[in-house]
Structure 1
Amino acid sequence: MNSPLPHTPQVEVVVSDCSAADAGSLFAELCRRFGSDRATDEAPHEAASGRPTMWTGTFDTSAAPGPSRRTAPSPHLSGPVTAELQGEPRAVERLRRALDETFVVHQLGVVAGDQEVDVELRLESRKPA
């Protein structure tokens, strides 16, 4: 007898092609909305070697974010940020919706497997209204 696999709410987020400050802004926004293995005040650091740097965080989407109650302006990114989201499809979609509320999101690619999906996004700051 086949039983359905349980929903796994964790999404791994890999951020690249941006400054440490932009990665920090993105992770701070995600930490504001979801539980994470990252501390809210944990600032990403640049690698000293001059090689490309990637930052990772795991976010628990089991408690879907409520309506946005933002009192501060949306975080500003100095340029486009590449983010790769990997996890169970429903969990990735929850995290993606949260990003859509805060940033301009362009989907660059998607790879779907039996139980996981890997989505590559380019995020940009929203223009002030």
Structure 2
Amino acid sequence: MESNGTRNHPADCDVTVQLSDCGRQDARAVFETLDRVFTGCDMPTPGPEQAHDREPTVWMATFDSSARREERPGPPQLSTEVTALLTGDHQAVAEVEKALGGLFEVRSATSVSGEHEKEARLQLASRYVTH
């Protein structure tokens, strides 16, 4: 099992999360919420929006699926549906996919499995809590 050079954990626990079809605020909402569930290994913090800035087409962060936190965040609000592409070890992707399913409404999910890696594409929307 390889180790990530900058962290002291197995590299097969890392899941890369790529978000598309969303703006800065929605990317921030998804990443900050995931960071409350898992330790972010490489998580850029989208800065404040500037009128002249162009939005990236893909937002990306990496999370350590083996480092679950005790915090149980509430479901964040999204302004639109967000496409999330998860890539990593089969078990690691399953952990992050399960966490996202508990935080967001997953409107569609597809996955492709290889010998050592799994890729899952999820369509996320806000989960509305009824009391």
Band of TM-score, shorter chain:
0.7 to 0.9
User: Residue 43 of structure 1 aligns with which residue?
Assistant: 46
Does 2:19 align with 1:18? no
Contact 2:37 2:72 in 1 (8 A): no
The offset of 1:63, in angstroms, is: 2.6
Q: Aligned partner of 1:38: which letter? A: M
Cα distance in structure 2, aligned partners of 1:107 and 1:101:
14
The offset of 1:93, in angstroms, is: 0.5
| % same residue | 36
CA RMSD of aligned residues (A): 2.4
Cα distance in structure 2, aligned partners of 1:44 and 1:88:
30
Between structures 1 and 2, the one with greater strand share? 2
User: Residue 112 of structure 1 aligns with which residue?
Assistant: 113
**Alpha-carbon displacement from aligned partner over 1:68-87 (angstroms, at most 9, x marks no partner):** 634xx421000100000000
C-alpha distance 45-11 of structure 1, shift in aligned 2 (>3 A)? farther
Question: Which of the numbers 58, 67, 72 marks the counterpart of 1:69?
Answer: 72
The offset of 1:112, in angstroms, is: 0.9
Equivalent residue of 1:69, what SS? coil
Does 2:105 align with 1:101? no
Q: Aligned partner of 1:93: which letter? A: A
C-alpha distance 65-90 of structure 1, shift in aligned 2 (>3 A)? farther
